[in-house]
Chains A and B, each alone.
Chain A
Amino acid sequence: GINCQGASRMCCRQEFFVDFREIGWHDWIIQPEGYAMNFCTGQCPLHVAGMPGISASFHTAVLNLLKANAASSTAGGGSCCVPTSRRPLSLLYYDRDSNIVKTDIPDMVVEACGCS
């Protein structure tokens, strides 16, 4: 995947960190100090559709462009910049009874983005 930087408007992963202290949750969430949520943003032209990590090579880009041109005449449907890889978020927190709970929440942190 590609991390967003500069003025590129292509599909990329934008880092976004939620600081638990900033939102007033640091009293009940013991660890970690924040949530590296991240999200996907950017455009997905048709010729990069179905390519996690955008253009793997020049040849695949050209092939996809050909496919996209063929498909665009028959079907509408756009391509979206979506997460292609995620990892769990490990939390240590107090529940309602002030017990301490340790759990892994699956698929919470976006690690990479690509075009659907």
Chain B
Amino acid sequence: NPKTDGPCPACWDATFDLESQRELLLDLAKKSILDKLHLSQRPTLSRPVSRGALKTALQRLRGRRRETLLEHDQRQEEYEIISFADTGLSSINQTRLEFHFSGRTTGGVEVQQTRFMFFVQFPPNATQTMNIRVLVLRPYDTNLTLTSQYLLQVDASGWHQLLLGPEAQAACSQGHLTLELVLESQAAHSSLILGGFSHRPFVAAQVRVEGKHRVRRR
């Protein structure tokens, strides 16, 4: 603070030895990063993701940058979250996927877009079309009320993307998204690969910090 009469903070080299200065800078760097990420301490990984899944997810998302560049200050308020699925209750033709969001995601933020990515593989030499119904269920509801559903026609093996609607965005904002995948065709359930190594389904959420009132001095 140049306005105070104390010593200028940039002139510390006269009073700190190199090692103390280094320790101080490292502490400052750690504190600065944690503060800006709104974390009180570094996260402890409770559900580590395999490197294969991570690599695949990032490859899928790469190149999907938005075409229009946002204003500089607006871009600074945005971030993206990739949440990998936990598989819940499943049966022969349906699979339930759970996605957890917390911390910065809940409260004071707005989920702008939610994309669901999943991998499908048909058996070799099979040519068939599979209908997948994706159900968005109300979070933390014991009866799992349906809020919306999407019908997808899948006719090729590979990664598929589904843009989810406002109900899913609201669920992400509340910290928990539940999807249920229902196969409507006769295709064997095993054709839908879920959770295997690098083919784990995930949700990519584009999030923006909200509630910042801009005050302009005139």
Chain A residues near B (Cβ < 8 Å): 11, 16, 18, 23, 25, 27-28, 30, 35, 37, 39-44, 76-82, 88-89, 91, 93-106, 108, 113, 116
Contact = CB atoms under 8 A, between A and B. Distances in A.
15 contacts: A23-B26, A37-B25, A39-B10, A79-B2, A81-B8, A82-B2, A94-B43, A95-B81, A97-B100, A97-B102, A101-B79, A102-B79, A102-B80, A102-B82, A105-B33
B76 A40 contact: no
Contacts of B48: 94, 98
Nearest to B57: A100
B13 A103 contact: no
B36 interface: yes
B81 A101 contact: yes
Contact of A23 (B30, B57, B101): B30
Nearest to A42: B10
B79 A78 contact: no
Contact of A39 (B3, B25, B37): B25
Contact of A35 (B29, B81, B82): B29
A23 B27 CA distance: 10
B45 A103 contact: no
A98 B46 contact: yes
Given A77-B3, A103-B79, A104-B76, A96 B46 contact: yes
A101 B84 CA distance: 12
Nearest to B72: A106
Q: Which 10 A-B pairs have the closest CB atoms?
A: A103-B79, A81-B10, A100-B82, A98-B47, A80-B2, A99-B83, A80-B8, A105-B36, A102-B80, A18-B29
Nearest to A30: B54
Contacts of B216: none
A79 to B, nearest CB: 7
Interface of B: 2-3, 5, 8-13, 25-26, 28-30, 32-33, 36-37, 42-49, 54, 57, 75-76, 78-84, 100-104
A35 B31 CA distance: 13
B81 to A, nearest CB: 5
Contacts of B46: 96-98
A97 B49 contact: no
B49 A100 contact: yes
A11 B11 CA distance: 9
Nearest to A4: B13
A28 B43 contact: yes
B145 to A, nearest CB: 24
Contact of B2 (A16, A78, A94, A103): A78
Nearest to A98: B47
Contacts of A99: 81-84, 100-101
Given A18-B30, A93-B37, A97-B46, 20 more contacts: A18-B25, A25-B42, A39-B10, A40-B10, A41-B11, A42-B10, A42-B11, A80-B11, A81-B10, A95-B43, A95-B102, A96-B44, A96-B102, A96-B103, A98-B48, A99-B82, A99-B84, A101-B82, A104-B79, A116-B2
